[in-house]
Amino acid sequence: MKKILVIDDDPQIVDLIKSRLKANNYEVITALDGKEGLEKTKEEFPHLIILDIAMPRMDGYTFVLELRKDEKLKGLPVIILTAKDKMKELFGMEGLSHYLIKPFIAYELLKKVKELLENEQFCS
Amino acid sequence: MKKEFRVLMLEDNAGDAELIGRELAKIGFAFTIKRVETKGGFLSALKEFKPEMVLSDYNLPDFDGLSALAATKAECPDALFIFVSGAIGEERAIEALKSGATDYVLKDRLSRFVPAVERALQEIIQRDAGNKMQENLQVGEERFRAFMDNSPAVAFLKTHEGRYVYANKPFEVRFNLTRTDWLGKTDFEFWPAQMAKHLQENDQIVLASSRSVKSTESIPTPDGGLRSWLVFKFPVIDSGESPLIGGMAVDMTDQKRLETQLKQVVGELSRLNGELDRKNEDLKKLDKLKSEFISTVSHELRTPMAIMRESIAQVMDRLCGEVTALQQQRLHMSLSNIDRLRHIIDNLLDISKFESRKVELRKEWVDLPGLVKEVEFSFEEQFKSKCLQLRYSFSKNKIEVNADKDNLIQVFMNLISNAIKFTDRGYVEIFIGENEKEIECRVTDTGCGIRVEDLPKIFNKFEQFGRPDDPGKKGTGLGLCICKEIIKLHHGEIWVESRLGHGTTFTFTLPKLSIRELFEENLSRYLQNCSKETDCLSIIIFEIHNFHTIHQKLGLKMESLQEKFVRSIEQYLQLQAGEIIHNSRFILVILPGMSKENISIISDRIHQTLDDLLSKKHFGNKIKLTIKTAEYPQGGNNAQELLEKTDLI
């Protein structure tokens, strides 16, 4: 079973995404800010991360930068899920993250997740 | 021409006359001589001949010399009169000279005749010249007076003691003085003491320095006011012993008043300008606040909307248990309204971005027929469910324009979704065509059409016509407004034609930029943010040599080769900043921050990379590249100058 880490400072969003993913047979772990998210990533090695941008303690942008510094983690697929559309260009240039704007549509999120995990499997 | 003197000879003795004539001939003047013998002849000759010199015998049978002299003085007062006679005696001679004769010469001593006549003639000449000069002088002085009296300036002349010896008419008129008021008087005699003192002090400065002095004086007017005069005083040195003081003055009161008024107006203007600047600043702040407000509110709404949407979606997807048909229908209603809300927020954000001019176009080469086919995919379902036909009409398979692709997708999406929304039967047709100057796109439908009175409002914000019943399909009233803003940003035009009950056509145009204009536009955008002192920027332009021949041979392959060029340049530079703009013949690479020192190394390396690519593709000896660079600020101050420097386009 693929493991997905959901990082968002809104527990309701975390909850909803968790139940949606679980219903689609993914294992889900959660974090409420970037710092916690980074710790969980290092402990549990998820296959994919769904990430909010505006969060306390550590925001999503810093989280991605930290992730890219770590040789073992830098290839991890990240889906940015945010209310801020102006960050699109910034992450687009990284070339590694995928981007969805809230309010998201569940099947689009699932499609993206599926796509990325299949790719990842292919790579490894 | 030598002057001929008219000489009247009164002489009754022909022998004497001949003798005198001979003597006259010795004198270096030309003469017209008339001889008369009688009183009658003499008197009529005076009248008609108008002699300048009379040579008269003293004793004549019917006439005596003195009477002849008197007659001459009466008739020709300027004529010279010389007696040429036998002995007349001392007393008579004196009497003759007293009566006005010029001279007398005795016939037996004619040797005196020549000098006497010569002396007399000199006298005539001098007198004539004198007359002429007198005349000239008179004319000159009259002219001078007329000049001074008609001049708008006041003029005067004073002795070194300050006594007025001359003043022109304006002086008298403007200061309300008569000739007797000023002639030979000083300033103390007609101006208030303090003013007179001040004026004389100025006189002293002129005399002491022998230079002209300029001053501004307030001088009282007869009606008790004050007028402001600009006064020039200067030394006048003539043949007299002491220099005189000349003066000219111009009334500056009106100019002064205008100047003061002008100063006031300028002051007021700069105050208003400042106020305007402040208000402008306030407005800008307000505008920024508005944009920020819309942006913040929109973003803040997104998370709760996401929660609502996903909650409802999960219930509908039965993640939370069974749902009845009626519940399902109601949930669907909520969901489509949340989607509508999202749509409104997206549009609002777009509009606020366009209005705050924050939009930066990310231009690239976009193939419009290709783009329309991409868009079609999103409408497939809707065309099917409404049984509408989608027709295409493209003048060419590939029509490219340099534009922001996302923006153009938005325009087509908005126009096509509108067309579907208002059309129940028939078709929606998309036309794309081009001429030399522009590309024209049309979206035509066979729908309900728009009322004539609504047409002018169609591109306004929040205008909606003929709302459909399904809330999910309701528009935001912002779609066409966004289209207009996007087309405007691309320097194109958009308009609508419609017939109620027959259908509607939206048309927009996009100007085609020449490669030069395209390069200039993009380069200018970068240079806008450069300052001459602190920043540098370099450009490289590649041109494919013998482009037209090669293009004919290779056709479409050429374009894919060009794409490969661009990609390998991108790869080489790992472009963090800057941009590559190209068509199939030229490639422009903009490198902000790249200095003159580094650009030649970089461009050589790129050249090498491209040559390698060419030989790898076996084009090595067929295709040659020309490469040129230019640097800001050394090579030019603006896009135009930099491009000219490269000399390629």
CA distance A41 to chain B (A): 24
Interface test mutation site (partner B, options A15, A16, A53, max chain B beta carbons within 10 A): A16
Q: Does B85 score more than 90 pLDDT? A: no
- Chain A positions in Cβ-Cβ contact with residue B305 (cut-off 8 Å): 102-103
Return d(Cα A68, Cα A49) in angstroms, integer.
Answer: 13
Would you state the pLDDT for residue B576?
56
Would you state the pLDDT for residue A124?
39
Say if residues B518 and B506 touch (Cβ distance below 8 Å): no
Q: Is B303 in contact with A105 (Cβ distance < 8 A)?
A: no
| Residue (of A87, A6, A96, A111) closest to A48 by Cα position | A6
- Of B462 and A52, the structure prediction assigns the larger pLDDT to A52
Nearest Cβ partner for A103 among B319, B342, B349: B342
* Residue B303 φ/ψ region, left for φ over 0, alpha for ψ in the -120 to 50 degree band, beta for the rest: alpha
Nearest Cβ partner for B310 among A16, A83, A85: A16
Token pair belonging to B229: 């005069």
Q: Would you place residue B247 in the very low, low, confident or very high pLDDT band (cuts 50, 70, 90)? A: very high
Token pair belonging to B77: 């007062």
- Chain A positions in Cβ-Cβ contact with residue B303 (cut-off 8 Å): 10, 13, 83, 102
Q: Would you place residue B31 in the very low, low, confident or very high pLDDT band (cuts 50, 70, 90)? A: confident
Closest chain A residue to B359, measured at CA: A86
Q: Which of A13-27, B212-226, B552-566 has the lowest mean pLDDT?
A: B552-566
Return d(Cα B524, Cα B493) in angstroms, integer.
Answer: 23
Q: Does A95 score more than 70 pLDDT? A: no
Return d(Cα A96, Cα A94) in angstroms, integer.
Answer: 5
Say if residues B466 and B448 touch (Cβ distance below 8 Å): yes
CA distance B458 to chain A (A): 28
DSSP 8-class letter at A70: S
Q: A71: helix, coil or strand?
A: coil
| Residue (of B401, B479, B477) closest to B443 by Cα position | B479
Return d(Cα B277, Cα A57) in angstroms, integer.
Answer: 42
Q: Is A83 in contact with B349 (Cβ distance < 8 A)?
A: no
- Counting every residue written for chain A, the total comes to 124
Q: Which of B88-92, B96-100, B322-326 has the lowest mean pLDDT?
A: B88-92
Q: Would you place residue B487 in the very low, low, confident or very high pLDDT band (cuts 50, 70, 90)? A: very high
DSSP 8-class letter at B64: B
The mean per-residue pLDDT over the stretch A49-67 comes to 87
Q: B235: helix, coil or strand?
A: strand
Q: Is B314 in contact with A13 (Cβ distance < 8 A)?
A: no
Sheet order of strands, B537-544 included: B579-582, B586-592, B537-544, B625-632
Return d(Cα B134, Cα A74) in angstroms, integer.
Answer: 116
Which is it for strands B80-85 and B53-56: parallel, antiparallel or unpaired? parallel
Burial profile A29-66: b = 16 or more Cβ within 10 angstroms, e = fewer: bbbbbbbbbbebbeeeebbbbbbbbbbeebbbbebbeb
Choosing among 1.10.3720.10, 2.30.30.830, 3.80.10.10, 3.40.50.2300, the CATH entry for A3-117 is: 3.40.50.2300
- Chain A positions in Cβ-Cβ contact with residue B360 (cut-off 8 Å): none
Nearest Cβ partner for B310 among A20, A84, A101: A20
**Percent of chain B's residues with pLDDT above 90:** 15
Q: Which of B376-380, B542-546, B620-624 has the lowest mean pLDDT?
A: B620-624
Q: Write the pLDDT tens digit of every residue in B138-153.
A: 888 888 888 888 988 9
CA distance A26 to chain B (A): 15
Interface test mutation site (partner A, options B291, B300, B303, max chain A beta carbons within 10 A): B303
Mean pLDDT (chain B, rounded): 84
Helix (H) or strand (E) holding B430: strand B427-434
* Beta carbons within 10 angstroms of residue B566's beta carbon: 16
Interface test mutation site (partner A, options B298, B299, B353, max chain A beta carbons within 10 A): B299
The mean per-residue pLDDT over the stretch B316-330 comes to 90
- Of A11 and B286, the structure prediction assigns the larger pLDDT to A11
Q: Is B306 in contact with A23 (Cβ distance < 8 A)?
A: no
Token pair belonging to B122: 């000199």
Q: Does B190 score more than 80 pLDDT? A: yes
Q: Write the pLDDT tens digit of every residue in B631-643.
A: 888 888 888 888 8
- Provide the number of CB pairs (under 8 Å) joining chain A to chain B: 49
Q: Is B305 in contact with A23 (Cβ distance < 8 A)?
A: no
Q: Write the pLDDT tens digit of every residue in B578-593.
A: 778 887 788 888 888 8
CA distance B362 to chain A (A): 11
Return d(Cα A54, Cα B299) in angstroms, integer.
Answer: 11
- Chain B positions in Cβ-Cβ contact with residue A101 (cut-off 8 Å): 302
Nearest Cβ partner for B314 among A20, A84, A102: A20
The mean per-residue pLDDT over the stretch B181-200 comes to 90
Token pair belonging to B271: 């105050």
Would you state the pLDDT for residue B313?
92
| Residue (of A83, A46, A106) closest to B318 by Cα position | A106
Token pair belonging to B226: 């004050």
CA distance B307 to chain A (A): 6
Q: Is A106 in contact with B307 (Cβ distance < 8 A)?
A: no
Q: Is B302 in contact with A103 (Cβ distance < 8 A)?
A: yes
Residues pairing with B365 in the sheet: B402
- Chain A positions in Cβ-Cβ contact with residue B299 (cut-off 8 Å): 83-84
The mean per-residue pLDDT over the stretch B55-61 comes to 82
Q: Does A93 score more than 60 pLDDT? A: no
Q: Does B612 score more than 60 pLDDT? A: yes
Instruction: Say how many CA atoms lie within 13 Å of A20 toward its Cβ.
Output: 27
Q: Is A102 in contact with B317 (Cβ distance < 8 A)?
A: no
User: Rounded to whole angstroms, what are the CA distances from B362 to B108, B405, B565, B640?
Assistant: 129, 8, 20, 21
Q: Is B307 in contact with A13 (Cβ distance < 8 A)?
A: yes
The mean per-residue pLDDT over the stretch A44-62 comes to 88
Q: Would you place residue A123 in the very low, low, confident or very high pLDDT band (cuts 50, 70, 90)? A: very low
Q: Is A106 in contact with B311 (Cβ distance < 8 A)?
A: no
Q: What are residue B269's phi and psi, to 5 degrees?
A: -60, -45
| Residue (of B442, B360, B342, B441) closest to B406 by Cα position | B360
Return d(Cα B414, Cα B508) in angstroms, integer.
Answer: 13
**Percent of chain A's residues with pLDDT above 70:** 85
Interface test mutation site (partner B, options A6, A88, A105, A108, max chain B beta carbons within 10 A): A105
Q: A74: helix, coil or strand?
A: coil
Would you state the pLDDT for residue B141?
84
Token pair belonging to B411: 């325009």
CA distance B576 to chain A (A): 9
The mean per-residue pLDDT over the stretch B303-327 comes to 90
Nearest Cβ partner for B306 among A19, A85, A103: A103
Residues near B499 by beta carbon (within 8 Å), at least 6 away in sequence: B449
Q: Is A10 in contact with B299 (Cβ distance < 8 A)?
A: no
**ipTM of the predicted structure?**
0.85
Q: Does B210 score more than 90 pLDDT? A: no
CA distance B344 to chain A (A): 13
* Residue B628 φ/ψ region, left for φ over 0, alpha for ψ in the -120 to 50 degree band, beta for the rest: beta
Residues near B397 by beta carbon (within 8 Å), at least 6 away in sequence: B369
Nearest Cβ partner for A102 among B302, B314, B349: B302
Predicted TM-score (pTM) of this structure? 0.51
Q: Is A105 in contact with B311 (Cβ distance < 8 A)?
A: no
- Of A99 and B39, the structure prediction assigns the larger pLDDT to B39
Q: Would you place residue A85 in the very low, low, confident or very high pLDDT band (cuts 50, 70, 90)? A: low
Residues near B268 by beta carbon (within 8 Å), at least 6 away in sequence: none
Interface test mutation site (partner B, options A104, A107, A108, A109, max chain B beta carbons within 10 A): A104
Q: Where is mean pLDDT largest: B203-217, B291-305, B468-482?
A: B203-217
Say if residues A98 and A116 touch (Cβ distance below 8 Å): yes
The mean per-residue pLDDT over the stretch B110-136 comes to 83
Residues near A5 by beta carbon (within 8 Å), at least 6 away in sequence: A28, A29, A30, A31, A37, A40, A41, A44, A46, A48, A49, A50
Q: Does B577 score more than 70 pLDDT? A: no
Q: Is A105 in contact with B307 (Cβ distance < 8 A)?
A: no
Q: Does B105 score more than 80 pLDDT? A: yes
| Residue (of B61, B60, B105) closest to B81 by Cα position | B105
CA distance B425 to chain A (A): 31
- Chain A positions in Cβ-Cβ contact with residue B311 (cut-off 8 Å): 16
Nearest Cβ partner for A13 among B299, B300, B306: B306
- Chain B positions in Cβ-Cβ contact with residue A13 (cut-off 8 Å): 303, 306-307, 310
Which is it for strands B213-220 and A78-82: parallel, antiparallel or unpaired? unpaired
Q: Which of A13-22, B116-125, B462-471, B538-547 has the lowest mean pLDDT?
A: B462-471
Q: Is B313 in contact with A104 (Cβ distance < 8 A)?
A: no
What is the SS3 string spanning B432-496? EEECCCEEEEEEEECCCCCCHHHHHHCCCCCCCCCCCCCHHHCCCCCHHHHHHHHHHHCCCEEEE
Would you state the pLDDT for residue A46?
93
Q: Does B93 score more than 70 pLDDT? A: yes
